Structure 1
Amino acid sequence: MIEIHGALDLVFWILAVGVFALSGWALVHAVKTPARAFAVTGKQTKNLWLVILGLAALFGFAAAVQYLSVLSIFTIASVIASGIYLADVRPAVREIGKGGGNQGPYGPW
């Protein structure tokens, strides 16, 4: 059960929900991205990112339901892993599907 006793507890709970949302967003994007895109861009493999982001989402969920503290090393590592994926890997693998010989501004001709 989520217990909020004051304003600071509410702030930490909102941060924990944010950590879970951030790691969940990164995990969903990694699941939808083809494995070839990771190899072409020279990033780590899709399977490794799925494990890392899956653990990040798990620890984010544990913080959101107050099983772990928001200031736990695992929660902080979840933010770092999700941030690295969203800031570095996501823009690189997103470029793989763009371009091509017969691509118009709104898709294939």
Structure 2
Amino acid sequence: MLVQGFNELLWWASMALLVFSVFAFVDAAIRREDAYRAADKKTKPFWLIVLGLVVAVNLYPIMFFLQIIGIVATIVYMVDVRPAVKQISGGGGRGGGRRSGGSSSDGPYGPYNGGR
């Protein structure tokens, strides 16, 4: 009974890790290529390959240590790379990426008045 409960817990944990890695892969795929270079965070193909391998390792668990390495890579992407790329590409949370209180004519350093 106890072993069955532990196996079920491990199954749910592996499914959560798979969903987490798939989310990171999809997020990396929808970000712009130039934002990765502007944020100085490797390249988009690099992260797609790494996160794609993580998804494959989580789909077909071969060795436990590969899953640990994959989760570390996914966490690095989600904690370090994703926020930097999101900030560069203007994908901030609410308001379409603009700071609250700003207008649509605001540039990165303040309001843009059309060169007047």
TM over 0.5: yes
| Superposition deviation, residue 96 in structure 1 | 1.2
Aligned length: 96
The alpha-carbon distance between structure 1 residues 107 and 9, as it changes in their structure 2 partners (threshold 3 A), is farther
Q: What are the ranges of 5 or more consecutive residues in structure 1 without an aligned counterpart?
A: none
CA distance in 2, matches of 1:51, 1:33: 14
The residue number in structure 2 matching 1:74 is: 66
Q: What are the ranges of 5 or more consecutive residues in structure 2 without an aligned counterpart?
A: 92-97, 106-116
The residue number in structure 1 matching 2:37 is: 39
* TM-score, with structure 1 as normaliser: 0.78
Higher relative contact order (CA 8 A, sep 6+): 1
| Superposition deviation, residue 77 in structure 1 | 1.1
The alpha-carbon distance between structure 1 residues 28 and 14, as it changes in their structure 2 partners (threshold 3 A), is same
* TM-score, with structure 2 as normaliser: 0.74
| Superposition deviation, residue 62 in structure 1 | 1.5
CA distance in 1, matches of 2:76, 2:16: 16
- The question of 1:7 aligning with 2:5 is answered yes
